[in-house]
Structures are given as structure tokens and as C-alpha cells.
A and B are shown apart, each in its own frame.
Chain A
Amino acid sequence: MTEASPAKAYSLHLGVIALLFALSFVLPDYHHGLIARIMVLAVFAMGYNLLFGYVGLLSLGHAMFFAAGLYGAGLSVYHLGWSVPAAFLAGIACGALLALVIGVLALRTSGVAFMIVTMMFAQVFSLLMLYFAVWTGGDQGLVVQQAARVLTLGGTTLDLTNPTVRYMSALALFSIVLLATLAVVRSRYGRVLVAVRENEERTKMLGYDTFSNKLAAVVVSGTICAASGAAYALLFGYVGSSFASVQYSILPLLWVLLGGAATALGPLIGTLFMYYVTDITSGFTSAYLLIVGVALILLVLFFPKGIMGSIRQRWLGWLP
């Protein structure tokens, strides 16, 4: 967050993007698909990290922003027959608008009350999706047909169900959001967000309208999460109410805590770690959740600031 070593930071992140690009050509099918999914969900985690890691606002309702993007994109393809880019933008717009409304209401509270209020709004959202089953498919969800998931760019047609196209689309979204969040947190605005986290009262006394700054952060965070949800609907073709459930509000918190709150790469590392620990252990035993639990406890014991957070603290102070 200091002005030092921007070159190092950007080359590391470009390196990670290049690595993910290269992996596309060597990974076996199964892992290829899994990494594509992880990249989309890491975008969700990055959106969450912006609010939780940098501004210090713990929301337990971010599933609603992910689901707003998911349903916004999915329903406009399914019912209105919109093209992929239009549906993607519709999903993002839904998330941004919802985040603005929820932000105005929920930011009247702070701390534990903020957690509860966001959780309650997410429950309302989730129940509404079930209630309007005629359009949303209720708890069955909707499957977006392959024919609708085709992107026409100029003369070329891209089939989003094709594994390589899907992987590259996920990587493109991931890269844009990674570099954008990196730029935001290194900017002056990022400095203000961290100041709000560290001491909101003091920040006010430096002349900052902290409410507006927090509201902007909720909207940016909600919009990024919605972009992740919209991409999920279009790339994987499933729009389901489980994504609006409380579980999907807890997961990004878990991913961010594991990877390292307020680190740029933490969300990716945390998501990757959780997916692979679950994946590998479930191959050995049906009691895999037990092993996942032990792994989490060990991680908290030895990496209390998350994987990237502890690496930054112990070895690489310049890490963003």
C-alpha cells in the first residue's frame, strides 16, 4: 500500500495470469474445468475481499449479489432471449443496483448489526427467488441451453460451452478484475478505504465522508460479485437458488480468510485451496469433511492471516 515497488507487484500478478493461461494447454480435462470454475468463483471472492479485507465490513449476505448477477444474466437469456453480452451486462446492472439499495440501508449499521442485516436481506432475496418459481425455476433452478450460450463477436462465433473458450473467458474476467482491484487498492481511494477500516472516526476528522466511501465500496464489491455470478450462469449454464443460500455468503468469507484478507492474490489462493482440499480428500474417504476441517484448523494455527497474508507478514513485505 505504500508507493514502493509497483513494478514488482504488477509483474507478479501478470505472471500469475500468464501461468493460468499456460495451464490451459497442459491441464487434463477434469482439472481444466475445475480451474475455470475456480477462476470465476475467485472473482466472487475478490469482490468480497474488497469490502471485507480493505474496508473491514463483514457482510454475511454477499450471496445475494452473486445471485443477482446469476439470475440477472440467466433469466434474461432464458426468458427474454438476450444475447450473451447483453445478458452479462444485465446481470452486472442487477448486482450494482441491488448493492446500492442494500448499501444505503445496511450501512446505517456497523459491526455485528451489519452482519445480521446483510444476512437478513440475503435471506429475503433467496426466498424471493424461490417464491417466484414460475420465472426462476424455484429450487430446481434453470438450465440455460447450449444454443443460447453463444457469443458472436464481429464475424466469429464463440461457443461458451467449449472448454477452451470457457476457460479463456473465465481467465479474461479473472484478469480484468484482479488488475482492476489491484489498481483500486493501490490508489488514493484504496488508501481511504484502509483508513476507514483502521479508524473510521479518525478518517471522518480528516474531512472524509466515510458513509459515501463505504457505499461506493459496497457497490463496487457487489458489482464484482454480480459479474462473477453472471459469468457463472453464462459459462456453466446453471441458474439455481442454492447460489443465493446462506452457504454462498459464508464461502467467500472462508476463501478470503484462508487466502489472506486484504491481499490481492489471497482470494484466488483461498478458493483454489478449498476446492482442491475437498477434491483430493473426497477421493480417499467419505469422511472428507473431517480432513477439510483439520486442514482448516492447521491453517488458522500456522497462517493466522491467511496464506498470502502470512507470507506477506513473514517474508515478502512488498506483496500487495
Chain B
Amino acid sequence: MMPLLTTRGLSRNFGGLRAVDNVDFALMPGEIRAVIGPNGAGKTTFVSLVSGRIPPSSGMIVFDGADITGLPAYRRVRLGVAYTFQITSVFANLSAYDNVALPVQRTLTDGRSKGAVKAGVMAALERTGLADRAHMPAGQLSYGHQRLLEVAMGLALKPRLLILDEPTQGLADSEIDNFIELVREIAKSATVLLIEHNMPVVMQLADRITVFNAGRILAEGTPEQVRENRQVQDAYLGAGHD
């Protein structure tokens, strides 16, 4: 089977710092892949390169067989690469409805179908459990709900690859359980690339785990393999995390 996403020799320098260093990465369609690693390991930089938010210093990104290295971010989104932000960045002054309407209306080719926007928006809000808050300004939603809204916006893009950057950060335990269910649901129709610090979430969700350290891939494998890996324990799990 052909990978959905491949990177070859992908690097990004910030001045003298090599934040992402010669990364070869492959992601199969339909999998849930978690990316873990200590702070500053280059995880967010890596997914920013994939989503096109920052250009790489060198290397190549292939999505579904096509070279997308030179494409601007919005073109990649249209190909099906959706990115949800680490720091919640919903449109605070717009209603939850309008936040989701933006991605929904863009995926509709028929410009006249007002009903289709509404149906699409409400479907995405219902999947994330926000339907009854549709007309609240997004800035007035609780933090957990804003994170869910962020996911609803990602879902509304009908992505083939959904990149979730620390989605459970700041969520309460009860909210995390619902969130795990939601990601499983999403994974039925999309490939998920998940950056996550919360190890129980990673262990429950991920089919495979990629461990970053100092801009490079340190290890890759199933949750069990990664758990048993000594290097990983030294670099990451042993460093005060559980």
C-alpha cells in the first residue's frame, strides 16, 4: 500500500538551530499516528512543515503521490491536509456557527446552496457535541469547548489527513475520555497525525508512535515497541514523564 504522506530528508533551520533534521517519515492511510518527544524536539515544526505553515530549508514532502513541497498552505488544505492549532485559535468574535461555516462553505462547490452550509455546519457541531452552542461567540465558550470547536473546524474541511497538535492540552479528564472517542470516530474516515504529551491518550489511540528527539526521529513502532525501547526511555519517558 502506498503511504498517504512521505517526507524525505526534511529539514528546517532557525538560524543555527536545526529544529527538524533530515527526517524521513511515512504515514499509511487510515492509521492513527502519534508523534511524541520532549519539548523542543521539533514536533510542532515538523507538522508545520507538513501543513505548509513554514517552508522547509531542504527536503521533500509527498502527499498522496504528489510532491507538495512548494505548495502554499491553503492549497495543501484543499488537497486534504487539515491542521488544528496547538494554541487554540478559533475566531473569538465570531459565533461557533460562523467558525465552522468558514471551512464548510469552502468545501462546497455549489455557491448557492444555503441549506448545504447549514446542514454541514450542524453535522460538524453535532459530532463534537457543540450543536446547542452554535450561536455563542466562540470566545465565550469554555476552553474545552474551544478545543472541540477547533476539531469541528478541522472535521468540516473533510480532510484526508487531520493533524492534531496537542489537542488534549488543558482538557479535564472527563473531557479527555470523550475526546478519545471522537478521534476514533474521525479515524474511520481520515488518517490522523497526533502530537500529544498525554501518554495514556497516546497509548490508547495510536496504531504507531514516532518519537522525536533533537529534530530527528529517535524511534518508531507500535505502542508496545516504543514503551520497551531503552533510548526512548532515556530521552523522554525517563525524563520525569510517565
Contact = CB atoms under 8 A, between A and B. Distances in A.
Contact of A208 (B51, B74, B83, B90): B74
Interface in B130-179: 135, 153, 157
B101 to A, nearest CB: 6
A165 to B, nearest CB: 38
Contact of A201 (B89, B93, B98, B103): B89
A212 to B, nearest CB: 9
Interface string A193-209: 01100110111111111
Contacts of A188: 101, 105, 111, 117
Contacts of A86: none
Contacts of B73: 204-205
Interface in B112-127: 117-118
Contact of A205 (B83, B111, B117): B83
Interface of B: 51, 53, 72-74, 77-78, 82-83, 85, 89-95, 97-98, 101-103, 105-107, 111, 117-118, 135, 153, 157
Contact of B101 (A191, A203, A209): A191
Interface residues of A, number: 21
B157 A206 contact: yes
Contact of A202 (B91, B105, B157): B91
A207 B89 contact: no
Contacts of B117: 188
Contacts of B118: 3
Given A188-B111, A202-B91, A195 B102 contact: yes
Given A202-B91, A206-B77, A208-B106, 11 more contacts: A191-B94, A191-B105, A192-B102, A194-B91, A194-B94, A195-B91, A204-B77, A205-B53, A207-B74, A207-B107, A207-B157
B183 to A, nearest CB: 19
6 contacts: A3-B97, A198-B92, A202-B85, A204-B74, A205-B82, A207-B78
Contacts of A202: 85, 89-91
Given A194-B94, A204-B74, A207-B78, A199 B89 contact: yes
B30 to A, nearest CB: 22
Given A199-B91, A202-B85, A207 B103 contact: yes
B51 A205 contact: yes
Given A206-B157, A208-B106, A195 B94 contact: yes
Contact of A206 (B97, B102, B111, B135): B102
A206 B153 contact: yes
Interface in A158-194: 188, 191-192, 194
Which of A192, A202, A207 has most B Cβ within 10 Å?
A207
A210 interface: yes
B97 to A, nearest CB: 7
A232 B111 CA distance: 36
B106 A1 contact: no
Nearest to A202: B89
